[in-house]
Structure 1
């Protein structure tokens, strides 16, 4: 079968551009409107996307004066979207830093059951002191400690999802036996961060485990991805950087003893589409003209760990920024932003404009043909297995992509024309259903 693109729709209220909410077409209340999200999900499903994705964090992300702030809890929202769609995968972000394995494993298993096997988990370790203070901590845990906790969290979650064998339920009414207790396997986990005794209180779900997604590109993040991840969301600004990341991560997966084809690399792209290139650039300028630069400066100073008032709009970044090794927050995003500014010799004002659409993800303005060409180029030249599609404006940006770019990708044989009979999210990503560890460990019965 010809290799085909995996497309994920990254949905964010009125769009990924920070000024999208100011456009006449935008609804400032879209972020808490279920009908808005149903429309987006059905649009992505019409485009035969593999999945849709909701970001999240346990803190208020920005000043409410800047843009629509806050969001519906993603697992709750995706449960509603599961009833409004039939095929598309449903990926929620949830933190290993500020959750417990038992509750989170139960929620994802429940979503997988309700959706018929379409759940995915974007695993994050949550950087930032703001989130830490919401959970009784004075400061965020160190970067390495967050990933150590995440690894144990995943190990516990896998034990919980395997605590029921697939055929535990007998449902023998005549014998009065509902289930087989011998097929329940309590984790009885005692570790550094967690102690979890009992089996999950929901049966094993259609996929066994939700699709495991990860978004960190630091050294700790790549080690974690090589061990656990089945899809990786990444931000890359150039084809060369994307190729290097792709090759490195696939090599790490192979070295960990896994099949590199069982991890899909999906860079983010913010497509700004026009009928001509000039129209696309004009659409991009309209968005840039609506940026409030004081907000941009505040966010950039926070990302770069600078004191307020350090940056000047029409000057370059300071020359004496700390190295990535000194950063305990979002390490890979810090490095991406600094390298972008240095490489293209951007002023702070120009950098804010570049980051306004995708916070470091590739922004591409062009015609539908040019967008399809760029996607195909990265896909065929070893930089991506697919893309995280991040429309600058919603819902119009997603609708334009589905109506004008998707047909081109289908004509080129790069994207499915229909979903087909296989139903689970793992099926869409070409991944096997994980065997229950207790079943595979059981010795085979002797035969006569």
Structure 2
């Protein structure tokens, strides 16, 4: 699916009463701007997870490959831990100064981090300076992603008519699927074209060079974007200091922030487990080839991407609560059997990944609309961004590391139970979300 498909899908969203005057071409452009930028950032972000085993052998001392993978995932978690900082900085800025400039800044930081990873020296060349540079790159990318989620998601949802807000909002997370899918496709192509030695030395770096180049394209698109009309309307009637106020959002909307924090566990943790942890742990154990893991991830991401507009459109009919709640309760029930099966039979990785990613996609398509509806425009970016990114830092960022650690101790079932309980909690919390299906945003 490409940007043309994104625009064509957005045509389904028609003018609704109370949404303000909006030409279809304006809506299409808004969806493309949000989707293209998030696509670039997710390409860079997930490329790190997909190529973690290659990075670990280049950036850390030679020795135990599982220990190197653990260190690489620890740095992966560092990027997650700085995401809340980015969400606070960019959340306040986005609510006070608008969505457009925040979107340009986040994609620039992501591209800069990607370029740093592409040129990071090996441990043999620079010693501990190599992992230090990798950490710095991940910090930049973490700041960018912390601001991107709420700014980009708010931008698309605010441009969408009420009747089709779930469907239009799903394109924000479709861009997550397309970004990760493109990174996986790049990996599959490179493993086919290059020898294992070439992949180890330079092949994995080419993906991050491509990510930096895509960032320039995304920056161009976002710099030419128009500001959110809903934000401009709110800016005329509110004082700047009252927008993006931590005091206001913490005092008046803390129940919504708590529910959002809990619901966010499922979509983030599950995706990183099946895109990052499962393929890498099987490859580190020598059970599957790099080509097999990339192919499985590619197939799974295609299924994931196709399921999200279904989820978004369904939420416009039956509500966000039901779609999100049921999806994550079902995923929690099936997680342990799927994990045990794929670990016992590595050859089942492609089709088990597809099954898992279908459930994750159905549980993610309604997220953008559902989360944006919890807060008014004056505090939407900070209200959405802060709890969402804290949840990602606590649970999503640590998931691959914890999975690898439990595997090294021979306790995979404990890890499966941990994930299942958290996803069930996510599903239960979803039933408490405020549902503005078919109603204008405030």
TM-score (normalizing by structure 1): 0.25
TM-score (normalizing by structure 2): 0.25
Q: Which has the higher helix share?
A: 2
Between 1 and 2, higher relative CO (CA 8 Å, sep ≥ 6) is seen in 2
Q: Which has the higher strand share?
A: 1
